[in-house]
A and B are shown apart, each in its own frame.
Chain A
Amino acid sequence: MNLPTPKNLLALMGLGQRASSLPALDENNRLCRKLDQTRPLEEYVYTVLDTELTGLSARKEEIVSIGAVRVRGLAIVPGESFSILVRPSIPLPKTSTLIHRITPEAIAEAPPLAEVLPGLIEFCKGTLIVGHHVGLDMSFLNRACKKNHGRPLANPCLDTMRMAMLWREKRTPSHYEQYNLSISYVLTDLAREFELPRFTAHDALGDALQTAYLFIYLAKKIAGNRPLTLRELFRAGQSWRWYM
């Protein structure tokens, strides 16, 4: 009886069949590992990202659209953006269509995630990834990266939801705040609370832009009048998610 080789074993487990190395991903991960954390926030380049999904389970569900915008010098560069519809391998559930308004017809002609991924990786190359509850988006993207290219993205991630919590803690004015009945960390609620310009919710690019506005708002608010380094920000919000 033939014992499975490591490669066969991966195949048996349903992993890595089509995994092929991608130079851009290797380059990205190399850049990210070298990242110096001691520079002020405005010196990094960020990719603010949002995905729309067929559902919330990272194991079963899939991505149907991706939106991303560039932030450079803590200013949004709307001219550099990434926005695409993706055709999932499973049928699009009606419940998800009701949330993000993407219909099965709209994605009938769209490319599958495997085709889209190299473009997205290129867009994210060497940047910090920012998202609202970014762990969810990253678990979907990394699953696809591993499946298609054998390894996940090494980009450090910043979660605007955690930054919002940090900002709230920082400015909690009185002990009454703990009784505040209206605390929410939903993106649209935060946008309303901080009086940011508003975008269409549950549209990947709209949410990415909304998150970008929230990000530069929070980054500058938390920093106050002095330069804040990435390391200081990570330390301030102790439970940051890192995906290396």
Chain B
Amino acid sequence: MNAGIQPAGYDSIITFLESTLPFSELERQSLVRLARGCLVDFFPAGTRLLRRGITEVDGLYLIQKGAIRLFLEDEGILMDIRTEGASLGALSLFNGEKAAMDAETVEDTFIIKIPRERFFEAVHLNPGIPRFYLKSFADTFLSKAFEEMRCKTLPAHEDHSLHLFSNPVGDLVSREPVSVPFGLSIQAAAKEMIRHNTGSLLFREPSGEICGIITDTDLRKAMALGLDLQAPAETIMTTPVESIDAGAVCFDALLTMMSKNIHHLVVKSNNRLQGIISSHDIMLLQGRSPMSVFREIASRTTIPGLYPLHDSITPVIRTLVQQGAKAGNITRMIAILNDQIMSKLLDLMLRELGPPPVKFCLLLMGSEGRREQTFATDQDNALVTENCGVDFLERAAETYFSAFTERMVAHLINCGFPRCPGDMMASNPQWRGSLDAWKNRVTTWTTAPEPERVLASSVFFDFRGVYGHKDLAENLRLHVTNACAGKDLFLRYLAAECLNSKPPLTFFKNFMVEKDGAHKNTLDIKTRGLLPFMDFARVMALYYGIRETSTLGRLELLHQEGHLSRDLFHEAREAFEFLLHSRLMHQLEQMEQGVPPDNRLDPGTLSALEKRTLREAFGVITPLHGVLREVFRLNMA
């Protein structure tokens, strides 16, 4: 009879466990034992799985398909979203405590549940499992510190969803509704919609009464069904048309749409037709998505129109923070939005001033070059032009770009990017030049390093091209990489410079703060905390010929190419993100209080957990310096 026996039903569980940490490390035999004891359960979207402090956790939940949201209901904070392959409940199982967080399914979710006894049986036999989860406890610890920081800065702030309850629908209507008389064909209706650039079209009876609506979706359906385009539009029209009073709040509109499963509502005031709103309009009302700022930038047609846009970035950042984005992603987003503003500005300026006599590329340096901008971003920019070799062209270019950059700097100040105190801006002739001129400068810096050149180069070497002919920037980057290779003397200079910034901790691991003056009891988190990481990543990247400019990217590549151990890389990355995050939260708070953002953190305002994490983050600087000493043999000098 055995000849007929086939694979068992838990084979699929084994396959799943084999691709899921930490179980992928187990031997086949252990996997089989474990898989035989598993259960597969299903929870529709919106099912509450765990209640903090109430639910007894009876097993480890592995997500086979779907997603689960972890949150603290009382504080209204989202902690994490876990998806396929992630697990839930290990912490409570090990601690023998009730659920530590609230959990709810976000999507329809299939769970593979390892019952408590089976889990501990496996833990007992395989020490790798507890080690894995203990390691993620360390992560949890870090994320808790992030969390604490987040809720401290945020609670007093209004909830953006409240706009739904305060804005009347009438405010959303931007224009008169487009309506047509009865009897058009489907094609003619589509043409009308294109002509008016609208996504919906109303139909009037001869009496003037509105009797139906067709939308983009209806047209799509007509296409899918292969309807005759000359058929009357009434065949695909939805009727009657749902309407709402202009005085109703947007939340009511949203509810009506959701309950009727429609996307358009006619807005009426005093029984008079005022316009149409779509679900999209309501989404835009929340207006704080990066996409909406993006679209706004793209839609501007005048330079003064760009000035206020920088301010709309703050709410976007708040939204991202609320959604739990990490600092590295947020600063990248800021960089993208700033880049967009800058590109749009230069587009408009070129239209105003006419085309330049030679090709050029605008370079961003320093934090903008590394895509690590927060709010307090000075202008650090430079200009590289094509080698023209013709005397009169060079003079024409100089005249053109001197005027061009003067105006650009002024406009950028209006856009919210303050002037660089060190005058490292393209309006300064020292920061403009042809490709060859730049190459010569770089060669001089690297072959005959002098203190001020070293400083200049450390700002410059993080450059990236943002606007214009980016191949010029690429070409220059290649030169920098080549010029630095083998310039041990210059790089040792840079490396030695890095060692000057000691971690801001006293012998007893207390924070070193300013003793007196205007900034008494504060700590400059940029120069004392972030710079050592940036400097380290830069000098190592130059030494090993890495062309990446962002600090996190450089660390990642250094690790990948084997110049930085795995542990130190992880520590450095997490410490850097934490410091960046601290700085961002500090500045966000200042921006919202109307104070110009700075980098001065008062350790006295931090919680115990934040202090501890900050201390550990600073602590990573010491081993990084150790690497520099070893690589550049600085102890022997």
Contact = CB atoms under 8 A, between A and B. Distances in A.
A212 B224 CA distance: 34
Interface string B50-94: 000000000000001100000000000000000000000000000
A83 B8 contact: yes
A179 B226 CA distance: 11
Given A179-B221, A197-B64, A213-B110, A78 B7 contact: no
A110 interface: yes
Nearest to B37: A79
A84 B224 CA distance: 45
Contacts of A199: 12
A173 B258 CA distance: 11
A80 B10 CA distance: 8
Nearest to A48: B9
A81 interface: yes
A213 B40 contact: yes
B10 A78 contact: yes
A81 B5 CA distance: 11
Interface centre among A86, A115, A194, A213 (most CB of B within 10 A): A213
B4 A81 contact: no
Contacts of B64: 197
Interface centre among B12, B113, B261 (most CB of A within 10 A): B12
B268 interface: no
A174 interface: yes
A202 interface: no
A67 to B, nearest CB: 7
Interface string A68-107: 0100001111111101111100000000000000000001
A221 to B, nearest CB: 6
Contact of A197 (B5, B41, B110, B113): B110
B261 A205 contact: no
Given A75-B113, A76-B39, A79-B37, A85 B6 contact: yes
A217 B44 CA distance: 8
Contacts of A28: none
B42 A78 contact: no
Contacts of A220: 42-44
A179 B8 CA distance: 41
Given A181-B224, A194-B108, A76 B6 contact: no
Interface centre among B10, B38, B261 (most CB of A within 10 A): B10
B547 interface: no
Contacts of A80: 9
A107 B39 CA distance: 31
B4 A213 contact: no
Contacts of A65: 6
Contacts of A181: 224-225
A195 B10 CA distance: 20
Interface string A213-236: 100110011000000000000000
Contact of B4 (A75, A77, A116, A216): A116
Interface string B216-228: 0000010011000
A208 B39 CA distance: 15
Given A78-B40, A79-B35, A111 B9 contact: no
A79 B36 CA distance: 4
B629 to A, nearest CB: 53
Nearest to A110: B4
A115 B36 contact: no
B3 A111 contact: yes
Nearest to A214: B42
A50 to B, nearest CB: 12
A109 interface: yes
Size bracket of the B interface: 20 to 34
A217 B39 contact: no
B9 A205 contact: yes
Contacts of A67: 6, 9
A187 to B, nearest CB: 16
Interface string A185-216: 00000000011110100001100110011001
B13 interface: yes
Nearest to B260: A174
B162 interface: no
A75 B12 CA distance: 15
Interface in B205-249: 221, 224-225
Interface in A126-185: 173-174, 176, 179, 181
Nearest to B10: A78
A80 B261 CA distance: 43
B1 interface: yes
Contacts of A111: 1, 3-4
B44 A205 contact: no
Contacts of B41: 74-76, 216
Given A78-B35, A83-B5, A173 B261 contact: yes
A213 B43 CA distance: 11
A76 B40 contact: yes
A15 B5 CA distance: 29
A78 B41 CA distance: 11
Contacts of A197: 12, 64-65, 110
B37 A196 contact: no
B42 A217 contact: yes
Given A110-B3, A181-B224, A213-B110, A195 B44 contact: no
B241 to A, nearest CB: 15
A85 B108 CA distance: 34
B57 to A, nearest CB: 16
A213 B530 CA distance: 51
Contacts of B37: 79
B6 A83 contact: yes
A78 B13 contact: yes
Contacts of A110: 3-4
B5 A216 contact: no
B1 A179 contact: no
A234 B579 CA distance: 61
Contact of B3 (A109, A173, A179): A109
A78 B65 contact: no
A196 B9 contact: no
Contacts of B12: 78, 197, 199, 209
Contacts of B35: 78-79
Interface string A51-71: 000000000000001010100
Given A79-B36, A197-B64, A217-B108, A176 B3 contact: no
A216 B24 CA distance: 27
Nearest to A72: B39
Interface string B1-36: 101111111101100000000000000000000011
B221 A85 contact: no
A196 B107 CA distance: 12
Interface centre among B3, B37, B108, B113 (most CB of A within 10 A): B3
Interface centre among B10, B42, B44, B113 (most CB of A within 10 A): B42
A216 B42 contact: yes
Contacts of B110: 196-197, 213
Nearest to B45: A221
A38 B76 CA distance: 40
Contacts of B13: 78
Contact of B38 (A79, A83, A221): A79
13 contacts: A74-B42, A75-B42, A76-B41, A79-B8, A79-B35, A81-B9, A83-B7, A83-B9, A109-B3, A109-B4, A116-B1, A208-B9, A213-B40
Given A75-B42, A209-B9, 6 more contacts: A78-B12, A110-B3, A110-B4, A111-B3, A205-B7, A212-B40
User: 4 closest pairs, A vs B, by CB?
Assistant: A81-B9, A109-B3, A76-B40, A79-B36
Interface of A: 65, 67, 69, 74-81, 83-87, 107, 109-111, 115-116, 173-174, 176, 179, 181, 194-197, 199, 204-205, 208-209, 212-213, 216-217, 220-221
